[in-house]
């Protein structure tokens, strides 16, 4: 792709912005400066530059176009952290590409990577549902009567994901997510389930479940098996299905089933007999039903709003003794077990467990479907994971440093920033987080890029974990509108914030121009720094992209009320934050 197309798209985008502001003359000038028709603006998938390396089969390379080391670094940083690399990191990789592995190691130790791990496994377990959607709906009541209901529900739903994050960030064997004799809780979670906690606000601490249930990491988690609940007649089959899908990538619902239409599905006794005796049913249920039996102590569907804290979700023998459900002896695909701890140990020993974890990280980071993960790559990375003692970081390190992750062309060579990545990226650049304050309604602040009921996560291409369970990696009208709104709000915030700082050293982005400084040389110098920070590009002041942006700034300034530099920078930054190189990486 040429630089001309890049700056033409930017010019046309700003022309639309100026036109929306009522400055028809400036819009016309900007569109004229573009020197292109509107069709060029649709090429949002083409985010590379002419500087990429190309290895071919003739030279022993992978046979596809590769990103340059700085471009590779930017992709890795966005994928693992949702943030741009620093200037020092870019310079280090430009000087010596061998510096990249050390930078990756540093990224893998950050809290932002921990948040990415939570997001990977929210895709797997679908834990973060709308706070007003059953089985959520935990209300502030003693001993947490004054809690923000949104924060309360979010904490409860996040707890199992926090355990996974803890295991990964602590360099523990990944099998500990199903074998740990502890869980993670903050004060809200501790109050809801009756767990011990220091009471320190916002602190996630290791604690243990009370009562008779076996301790087995996620398998012992009260929220996870409330989210994946059961009726008495379903007898925990939905829970077993969710477990197998998330942890060993085996989905019982994907099996081809021939239904016997003579079975009376309204009669639970007939169904119970059919799943054992009818060949059409038994083929699936012989593996599913014994797995479901491990969950026989968990409460079926319940409304947390109707119960007092702490809520006890585990009662030994609940389904078999109280509800009189005729369940099979618990077993894991033919291997018998007694309790959740046995189940956790068998999952950890199953080769499908490490392979599934590998496939999930590959699918998430490469933005492809789980069943589209290349088997050879999954096998190689799974071997790395096992060889590292199930250390997830070692596998992810190899994944992001590989040539296939560095690919610049084709479907796998385009990564779209998810809503949470966009939110973190703009927050890192500007300090702005897009939130709404609903205190007047008794809720508090909600992150609009991390919520799907009030916010825009689904509209931006994310999931709500209930109705929308797969992310979108293609751009559409709603995603474009979400990015437009986020860009505009972030641009307004950073211009006001930076120009409110007299000392340029205390600013985030506009570090080279004083509040009223609008001369062409100063603007160009600032644009060079912005292109470096936003897109990782090292451009000269006379580069065509810089010239196009400088012209756009001049047009915006000419049409601004009282020729306000603030107004001009807000318009220009709004356009820069909507560039395809922000939406994709």
Q: Residue 254 has what pLDDT? A: 74
Q: Is the link from the previous residue into 175 a cis peptide, with omega within 30 of 0?
A: no
pLDDT surpassing 80 at residue 301: yes
Query: pLDDT tens for residues 542-579?
Result: 999 999 999 999 999 999 888 899 999 999 999 999 99
Q: How confident is the model at residue 133 (pLDDT cuts 50, 70, 90)?
A: confident
Residue 159 belongs to some domain of the structure: no
Q: Are residues 492 and 556 in the same domain?
A: yes
* 153 within domain boundaries: no
Q: What pLDDT score was predicted for residue 177?
A: 98
Q: Is residue 578 part of a domain?
A: yes
Query: Has residue 549 been placed in a domain?
Result: yes
Does residue 570 sit in the same domain as residue 498?
A: yes
At residue 55, the pLDDT reads: 43
**CA 200 distance to own-chain centroid:** 27
Q: How does 503-519 read in b/e, with b if 16+ C-beta sit within 10 Å?
A: eeeebebbebbebeebe
pLDDT value, residue 265: 63
Same domain, yes or no: 486 and 579: yes
For residue 43, pLDDT over 50 is answered with no
> Has residue 366 been placed in a domain?
yes
What Cα–Cα distance (Å) separates residue 199 from each residue in 161, 182, 196, 204?
A: 20, 17, 9, 10
The answer as to whether 94 is a domain residue is: yes
190 CB burial (10 A radius; 0-12, 13-18, 19+): buried
| Per-residue pLDDT band at 279 (split at 50, 70, 90) | low
* Close Cβ partners of 538 (under 8 Å, ≥ 6 residues apart): 70, 94, 532
What pLDDT is recorded for position 16? Answer: 38
Q: Are residues 470 and 489 in the same domain?
A: no
Report the sign of the C-alpha dihedral through residues 162, 167, 168, 174, in that order.
Answer: negative
The answer to whether residue 24 scores a pLDDT higher than 60 is: no
Q: Which pLDDT band, with edges at 50, 70 and 90, does 274 fall under?
A: low
Q: What is the extent of the structural domain holding 470?
A: 53-109+417-477
pLDDT score recorded for residue 557: 96
Q: Which residue has the higher pLDDT, 406 or 31?
A: 406
E strand or H helix that includes residue 332? strand 331-332
Boundary-marking domain end, from 413, 436, 454:
413
Q: Where residue 1 falls among pLDDT bands split at 50, 70, 90? A: very low
Residue 535 and residue 486 share a domain: yes
In angstroms, the CA 572 to CA 564 distance is: 13
Residue 565 lies in a domain: yes
Q: Are residues 517 and 422 in the same domain?
A: no
522 and 484 together in one domain: yes
Same domain, 488 and 551: yes
Does 374 share its domain with 462?
A: no
Res. 269 pLDDT band, cuts 50 70 90: low
Domain boundary among 462, 477, 492: 477
Neighbours of 382 (CB within 10 A): 21
Residue 89 pLDDT > 90: yes
Q: Are residues 540 and 563 in the same domain?
A: yes
> Which pLDDT does position 61 carry in this prediction?
63
Which residues fall within 8 angstroms of residue 441, CB to CB, at 6 or more apart? none
pLDDT in tens, 338-374: 999 999 999 999 999 999 999 999 999 999 999 999 9
Give tens-digit pLDDT for 216-264: 999 999 999 999 999 998 999 999 999 999 999 999 877 666 666 666 6
Whose CA is closest to 157, among 121, 182, 209, 210? Answer: 121
pLDDT given at position 32:
36
**What tens digit of pLDDT does each residue of 156-200 get?**
999 999 999 999 999 999 999 999 999 999 999 999 999 999 999
When pLDDT is averaged across residues 466-477 and rounded to a whole number, the result is: 93
Helices first, then strands: H and E counts in the chain: 22, 8
What DSSP letter does each residue of 93-106 carry, written as one string?
HHH-GGGHHHHHHH
Beta bridge partners of 33: none
494 plus 576 within the same structural domain: yes
The predicted structure's pLDDT at residue 284: 67
Q: Which of 497, 502, 506 is nearest to 517 (CA)?
A: 502
pLDDT tens readout for residues 516-547:
899 999 999 999 999 999 999 999 999 999 99
CA 535 to chain centre: 21
Structural domain includes residue 325: no
Q: What is the mean pLDDT of the chain?
A: 88
Which of 437, 458, 477 lies at the terminal end of a domain, its last residue?
477
Question: How many distinct structural domains can be found in the chain?
Answer: 3
Report pTM: 0.87
CA atoms within 13 A on the CB side of 138: 29
One domain for residues 565 and 491: yes
């Amino acid at each position: 792709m040429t630089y001309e197309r890049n700056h033409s798209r930017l010019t046309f985008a700003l022309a639309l912005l100026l036109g929306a502001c009522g400055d028809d003359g400036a819009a016309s000038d900007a569109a004229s400066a573009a020197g292109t028709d509107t069709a060029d603006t649709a090429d949002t998938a083409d985010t590379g530059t002419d500087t990429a390396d190309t290895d071919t089969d003739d030279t022993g390379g992978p046979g596809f176009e590769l990103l340059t080391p700085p471009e590779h670094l930017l992709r890795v940083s966005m994928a693992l952290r949702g943030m741009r690399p620093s200037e020092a990191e870019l310079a280090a990789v430009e000087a010596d590409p061998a510096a990249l592995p050390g930078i990756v190691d540093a990224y893998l130790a950050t809290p932002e990577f921990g948040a990415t791990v939570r997001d990977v496994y929210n895709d797997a377990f679908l834990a973060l549902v709308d706070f007003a959607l059953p089985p959520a709906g935990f209300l502030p009541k003693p001993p947490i009567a004054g809690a923000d209901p949104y924060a309360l529900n979010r904490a409860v739903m996040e707890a199992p994901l926090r355990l996974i994050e803890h295991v990964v960030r602590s360099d523990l064997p990944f099998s500990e997510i199903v074998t740990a004799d502890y869980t993670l809780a903050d004060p809200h979670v501790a109050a809801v389930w009756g767990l011990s906690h220091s009471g320190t606000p916002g602190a996630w601490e290791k604690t243990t479940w009370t009562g008779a249930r076996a301790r087995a990491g996620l398998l012992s988690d009260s929220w996870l098996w409330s989210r994946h609940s059961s009726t008495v007649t379903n007898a925990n089959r939905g829970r077993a299905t969710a477990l197998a899908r998330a942890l060993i990538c085996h989905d019982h619902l994907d099996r081809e089933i021939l239904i016997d239409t003579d079975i009376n599905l309204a009669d639970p006794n007939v169904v119970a007999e059919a799943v054992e005796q009818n060949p059409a049913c038994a083929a699936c249920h012989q593996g599913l039903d014994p797995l479901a039996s491990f969950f026989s102590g968990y409460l079926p569907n319940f409304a947390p709003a109707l119960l007092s804290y702490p809520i006890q979700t585990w009662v030994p023998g609940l389904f078999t003794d109280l509800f009189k459900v005729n369940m099979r002896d618990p077993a894991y695909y033919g291997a018998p077990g007694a309790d959740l701890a046995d189940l956790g140990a068998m999952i950890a020993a199953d080769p499908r467990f490490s392979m599934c974890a590998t496939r999930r990280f590959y699918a998430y980071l490469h933005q492809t479907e789980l069943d589209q993960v290349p088997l050879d790559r999954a096998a190689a990375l799974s071997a790395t994971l096992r060889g590292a003692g199930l250390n997830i970081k070692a596998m992810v390190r190899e994944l992001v440093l590989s040539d296939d992750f560095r690919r610049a062309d084709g479907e796998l060579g385009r990564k779209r920033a998810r809503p949470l990545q966009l939110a973190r990226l703009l927050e890192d650049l500007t300090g702005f987080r897009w939130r709404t304050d609903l205190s007047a309604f008794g809720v508090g602040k909600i992150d609009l890029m991390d919520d799907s009921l009030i916010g825009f996560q689904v509209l931006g291409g994310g999931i709500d974990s209930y109705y929308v369970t797969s992310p979108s990696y293609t751009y559409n009208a709603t995603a474009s509108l979400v990015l437009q709104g986020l860009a505009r709000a972030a641009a307004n915030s950073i211009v006001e914030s930076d120009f409110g700082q007299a000392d340029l050293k205390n600013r985030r982005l506009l570090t080279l121009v004083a509040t009223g400084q609008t001369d062409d040389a100063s603007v160009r110098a600032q644009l060079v720094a912005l292109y470096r920070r936003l897109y990782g590009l090292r451009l000269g002041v006379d580069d065509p992209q810089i010239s196009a942006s400088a012209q756009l700034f001049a047009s915006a300034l000419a049409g601004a009320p009282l020729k306000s530099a603030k107004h001009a920078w807000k318009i220009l930054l709004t356009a820069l934050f909507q560039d395809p190189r922000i939406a994709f990486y």
